[in-house]
């Protein structure tokens, strides 16, 4: 789960809010034509949201799914194993009481017998059994079985509604004849675009409200160590933005990127985004780490107000 928080950023609604707002400011380094800057910014942010959705609902989804399966498997085995061991110890204890009789109460301060120590040692080994059994189950599977499971998992991830929507959007945008049917003032099916645009405009504030509701859970419970939260914050707001600046400047120097400062600004801002909100949805879907997600979201989004402002200023000063 920590890897998911460090690798998946909020590449959707925040960029759709930040980039057009930057274009509306006076003295922005992206040109004096605000309408053109805003349209290009929305295009870049939408592309970022589509590609980010593919990444989140494939890579991050698989991470959270594996974490959920491992957690529930270990939890079920840790509940079953102590129950079986308790029954065995009770049966052994009854036999021991019948044999010893009143001799068990003769000396209350006597040291524990070797059988009791052996029982405690068996309890510790049985508590470690779920971890070892999980690893052995994966090792016992054959190559073709693992390959089939991997292919089935990839197909299942690609059939998620956000992924299918992004693929359909790319297909419509890449095919000119299909694009002319849906997009444009003279398109015969422009009602589809207008309906989707209307729903999309209402989705952004709804997502922000849902985020606020999830953050309130982190105020009541704190089950994570401070070092974990500090590590995630440092990776997301210090290390990744520095790496993003280096990668974007290297790609621009080689000639992979166009000479559009707004495009490079959006690319660098992707590295400074807080964790993706869909991680919380996946945590609720797989019933794993919901309290931890709330705490991490609370602190990362509180610090994001300062981090995004700072890095946005730095990026614009570099591009100006």
Residue 15's SS3 state is helix
pLDDT attached to residue 250: 93
pLDDT attached to residue 220: 62
pLDDT attached to residue 241: 93
Q: Are 274 and 247 in contact (CB under 8 A)?
A: no
pLDDT attached to residue 236: 92
Token pair listed for 110: 């006597």
pLDDT attached to residue 122: 47
Token pair listed for 92: 């052994």
pLDDT attached to residue 118: 42
Measured distance CA(295)–CA(216) in Å, rounded? 9
Residue entry with tokens 């959007």? 169
Measured distance CA(146)–CA(141) in Å, rounded? 7
Q: What is the DSSP string of 50-77?
A: HHHHHHIIIIIHHHHHHHHHHHHHHHHH
The torsion defined by the Cα of 202, 208, 214 and 220, in degrees rounded to 10, comes to -140
**DSSP3 helix / strand / coil % (the chain, rounded to 5):** 80, 0, 20
The reported pTM is 0.69
pLDDT attached to residue 112: 43
Query: Helices 13-23 & 261-270, crossing angle to 10 degrees?
Result: 140
The CA angle 304-308-311, to the nearest 5 degrees, is 135
Q: How many residues does the chain have?
A: 320
Measured distance CA(185)–CA(305) in Å, rounded? 38
pLDDT attached to residue 267: 92
Name residues of the chain where pLDDT drops below 70.
78-142, 157, 212, 214-223
Per-residue pLDDT tens digits for 247-270: 999 999 898 888 888 999 999 999
pLDDT attached to residue 13: 78
Other Cβ atoms closer than 10 A to 40: 19
Q: Is 292 exposed, middle or buried (0-12, 13-18, 19+ CB in 10 A)?
A: buried
Per-residue pLDDT tens digits for 22-33: 888 877 888 788
Residue 9's SS3 state is strand
């Amino acid at each position: 789960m920590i890897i998911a928080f460090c690798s998946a950023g909020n590449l959707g609604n925040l960029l759709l809010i930040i980039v057009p707002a930057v274009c509306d400011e006076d003295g922005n380094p992206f040109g004096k034509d605000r309408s053109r800057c805003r349209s290009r910014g929305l295009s870049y942010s939408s592309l970022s949201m589509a590609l980010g959705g593919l990444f989140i609902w494939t890579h991050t989804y698989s991470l959270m799914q594996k974490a959920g399966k491992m957690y529930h498997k270990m939890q079920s085995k840790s509940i079953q194993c102590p129950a079986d061991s308790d029954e065995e110890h009770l049966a052994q204890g009854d036999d021991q009481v019948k044999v010893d009789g009143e001799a068990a109460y003769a000396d209350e301060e006597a040291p524990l017998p070797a059988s009791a120590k052996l029982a405690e040692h068996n309890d510790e080994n049985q508590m470690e059994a779920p971890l070892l059994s999980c690893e052995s189950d994966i090792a016992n599977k054959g190559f073709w079985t693992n390959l089939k499971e991997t292919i089935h998992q990839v197909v299942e991830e690609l059939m998620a509604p956000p992924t299918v929507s992004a693929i359909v959007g790319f297909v419509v945008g890449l095919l000119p004849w299909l694009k002319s049917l849906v997009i444009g003032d003279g398109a015969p099916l422009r009602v589809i675009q207008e309906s989707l645009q209307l729903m999309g405009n209402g989705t952004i504030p709804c997502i922000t409200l849902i985020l606020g509701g999830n953050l309130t859970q982190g105020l009541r419970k704190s089950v994570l160590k401070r070092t974990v939260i500090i590590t995630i914050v440092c990776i997301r707001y210090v290390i990744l933005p520095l790496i993003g600046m280096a990668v974007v400047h290297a790609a621009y120097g080689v000639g992979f990127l166009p000479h559009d400062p707004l495009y490079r600004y959006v690319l660098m801002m992707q590295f400074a985004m807080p964790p993706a909100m869909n991680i919380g949805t996946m945590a609720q879907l797989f019933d794993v780490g919901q309290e931890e997600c709330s705490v991490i979201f609370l602190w990362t989004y509180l610090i994001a107000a300062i981090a995004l402002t700072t890095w946005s200023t730095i990026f614009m000063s570099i591009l100006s």
